Structure 1
């Protein structure tokens, strides 16, 4: 059991915003060693316990959101209920590890005589269940092994070929290989482990040296102005709309005339298209000749968390509606089963969007996504395939008390940039607002609300519009289907062929 806890802690500490991503290369070794000596029942339960503990540790910053921040702002449930909800959330996130532990314990011993085959089987199995963990209305992709490689830029480039699944497979394979070698109890085990890890870091460093430098040619580069508001959640949810409008108006006055401007998710908490707020914004946009991306909910044409463009001509008819809504906070999955959790609703229960809307402004094609949309590769892929030259993540991260949550959310935009070979601009209430290049490097970022106590920050971000598509953008999670076939062959014919 100590091995399970050790793996859970090491995996959590390797996540962005935690300790060091390099830990991921050995984080699963204790778990695999423990599963190798477990029976079917105990192996299944130990795998689930690993997933439960590490996912809660990796998302510890959600605990104060549910137990302190949301109860204080919304006053819809007591703090202890939010705390209990956090631990129940872990059960949902970790359910796929039951399947991994079950099949691992049932079939992995077929390949115990071959270090290579067992490592391939374990990595294949782990990757398949990581893919499944992200599916469905409760699917979640936080805490993936691939996230630990966000600062290992050389290896991160592989995500443009195979997305997060390719990175997950490689990490799981290395861990399984080390576990199998250590389990053999032969001489030279320490040297094998050290040599393998050294080779990984050398390869990563070597590839990093050859990552192209982005050349901002004035003839082709474009500019977008980001406004980072620093509204506390108490102001957003309980303050007056006039107070919010006053800050937004002051910020817009600092924007250069003729700009494309982006505000964070849900800048206003109600539909502003037909009230005086919308009229004020239209007047400002007309006077300054700006086009403004702004987020606010709509309720009469479907209840959506969405983004539209405001210009001197009014609000755009097209919009992007958030596709991956946050369970229980933005929508209630399977009401008959989970109806008791309806009190967790933030503003309203929304309808998920179903279109990858790309906005055409002048000669630019801009794809926007909202908040945790950036956790899911499929959305950035869809926007890129629809012709977006740049991706924008508009988010409200004002709920997070810890910088770990801010850094982790930004890391998802970093990975999406590499997967699709696009510049990604994240614009956040309270931060982090930053521009990422197509190779995952943060080019420019703004101070967070903690670092600079002002109502707003306005800054211009220069980027290169790109039209090409990476292999991953074109073909998506092709690796899942290959690994599924490999797993079936190894399970069915393992005892005969191998």
Structure 2
């Protein structure tokens, strides 16, 4: 019963430390109960089935965390929500089992160092593999407190993960030593160390927050929020009707000085989408082109679903959708960049939602489960991506904008790729309506604030039903448009050209952790006894 209560404590502390409803300080002690469980099971010789017991308790803790923070996925699809919550909890529990195996064979310091680095490696895996789900990476927890984490411009969110684990480990070790010796000075020393590790980064961050000033140049930007119901309206409205609605909303705020106009993702999604090879002669292109001719400085960033047919087998890609022996189709979730001067430029979304836009490990899983897909919100079809990021040059300026589409905004190092391509502003185009009025869309907006700090770039965020927003390079919410509201926002946003250390270095903390975790693992299991 004691172990069960401790597992519940870890799960609840993690859950109630999460944005956008929780207080992240709870995370600094959240893992201590679970570490205590692992240590007690490890030293109790009378226990049977130790591994199974630890796995079950760890799974319970992580299930509570995953369920409370991400149960909003059920509003898009119940099976997808169950898969994400159950499998992610299992992977986290396996991390604890691997730590336990190392802890049995080496010192406390080495095993705890291994646990920290292994967890960071797990988070890095979640950023890169085909079942990618980095929503619960620990560094994300501070997204509602940008004054605390201005130093993310140096470390990215992995700095936050390391921060959380260091405090947990220091306090856990202090409690172990105190239970052995009963010396109160151990707790006093640990309390001082903990306060220093928590407060010094926050104090430095607050100083940076109030002393940092973006570069002086600005552009005028407008974001649109059409508030189209994705379940009842999105695929029934014609592109012409949607285009007219967007123009109506744009005219409320767009001026002759406006440089950038941003819509949500796939707002143009009639039928199967727009034929990509014929886009330059499409009615959708001419409708948008005729609008921008009225504004001499305007650049229109417009969300499209595109398709491209193939009848030749030599042209098909692994992501092509087969209709019959003679027809394959590529679908794209894309941003079209249109102004009055040039031919349109296209960017295809590259970080895809698991199941709805990609079929993970298709060659392995498709023979087993057929065409079943894990619908996490959207249209179930394989999407085709592009390899490199794109940044589009704004007309009559020397500045570029990055078309960051929906789920891409959750990936820190990925977004730095836009900045290295020259992006001075980040335009996030998303549709968060699939999850209803839940924590999902609130958390998604909150995570965007991390990308602003990491890159020191202003963000213009257009969401179909909300929350559309402008975010400063310090992660401040400058303006917002509430969920389930139709309208537009306009702002003068700063344009930065300098590159942060994180933009240059990327997820170096994760790469270092990988070497350390492997080193400790191999030394522990393969070093010869002296």
Query: TM-score w.r.t. structure 2 length?
Result: 0.82
CA distance in 2, matches of 1:214, 1:460: 23
State whether residues 167 and 197 of structure 2, in contact with CA within 8 Å, keep that contact through their aligned partners in structure 1.
Answer: no
Q: Please, which of 469, 473, 482 is the counterpart of residue 499 of structure 2?
A: 469
Residue number in structure 1 paired with 2:70: 59
How far off is 1:160 after superposition? 2.0
State whether residues 371 and 394 of structure 1, in contact with CA within 8 Å, keep that contact through their aligned partners in structure 2.
Answer: yes
Residue number in structure 2 paired with 1:350: 383
Question: Structure 1 residues 258, 440: closer, same or farther in 2, change over 3 A?
Answer: closer
Q: Please, which of 475, 479, 499 is the counterpart of residue 440 of structure 1?
A: 475
CA distance in 2, matches of 1:192, 1:154: 27
How far off is 1:195 after superposition? 4.2
Residue number in structure 1 paired with 2:370: 339
Residue number in structure 1 paired with 2:81: 86
Question: Structure 1 residues 60, 191: closer, same or farther in 2, change over 3 A?
Answer: farther
Structure 1 position 298 matched with structure 2 position 330: no
How far off is 1:183 after superposition? 3.0
Question: Structure 1 residues 161, 395: closer, same or farther in 2, change over 3 A?
Answer: same
Residue number in structure 2 paired with 1:266: 266
**1:256 counterpart SS class:** coil
How far off is 1:197 after superposition? 4.8
Structure 1 position 156 matched with structure 2 position 168: no
State whether residues 323 and 352 of structure 1, in contact with CA within 8 Å, keep that contact through their aligned partners in structure 2.
Answer: yes
Structure 1 position 100 matched with structure 2 position 79: no
Structure 1 position 35 matched with structure 2 position 33: no
How far off is 1:204 after superposition? 4.5
Post-superposition Cα deviations, 1:113-152, rounded to whole Å, max 9, x if no partner, equal x5x5454332222212222233211111011111112234
Residue number in structure 1 paired with 2:392: 359
Counting matched residue pairs gives 473
Q: Please, which of 278, 285, 289 is the counterpart of residue 282 of structure 1?
A: 289
State whether residues 263 and 429 of structure 2, in contact with CA within 8 Å, keep that contact through their aligned partners in structure 1.
Answer: yes
Q: How does 1:49-448 map to 2 (within 5 A)?
A: 49-66=60-77, 83-112=78-107, 114=108, 116-184=109-177, 185=179, 186-188=182-184, 191=188, 194-211=191-208, 212-213=210-211, 215=213, 220-233=217-230, 234-254=232-252, 255-259=254-258, 260-270=260-270, 271-272=273-274, 273=279, 274-289=281-296, 290-300=298-308, 302-312=330-340, 316=344, 318-333=345-360, 334=362, 335-342=366-373, 344=375, 346=379, 348-362=381-395, 363-442=398-477, 444-448=478-482
What is the Cα-based RMSD across aligned positions, in Å? 2.7
Question: Structure 1 residues 311, 41: closer, same or farther in 2, change over 3 A?
Answer: same
Q: How does 1:475-490 map to 2 (within 5 A)?
A: 475-490=505-520
How far off is 1:408 after superposition? 0.8
Structure 1 residue runs of 5 or longer lacking an equivalent are 67-82
How far off is 1:187 after superposition? 4.0
Task: Look at both structures and tell me which one has the larger radius of gyration over its CA atoms.
Answer: 2
**1:434 counterpart SS class:** strand
Q: Which moved more, 1:31-40 or 1:488-497?
A: 488-497
How far off is 1:278 after superposition? 3.0
How far off is 1:154 after superposition? 5.0
Residue number in structure 2 paired with 1:449: 483
CA distance in 1, matches of 2:519, 2:284: 61
Question: Structure 1 residues 439, 37: closer, same or farther in 2, change over 3 A?
Answer: same
Query: TM-score w.r.t. structure 1 length?
Result: 0.86
Q: Which moved more, 1:174-183 or 1:186-195?
A: 186-195
State whether residues 396 and 430 of structure 1, in contact with CA within 8 Å, keep that contact through their aligned partners in structure 2.
Answer: yes
Structure 2 residue runs of 5 or longer lacking an equivalent are 42-49, 310-329
CA distance in 1, matches of 2:263, 2:212: 26
How far off is 1:276 after superposition? 3.1
CA distance in 1, matches of 2:343, 2:211: 38
Post-superposition Cα deviations, 1:254-279, rounded to whole Å, max 9, x if no partner, equal 21125221111111114454443432
How far off is 1:63 after superposition? 1.7
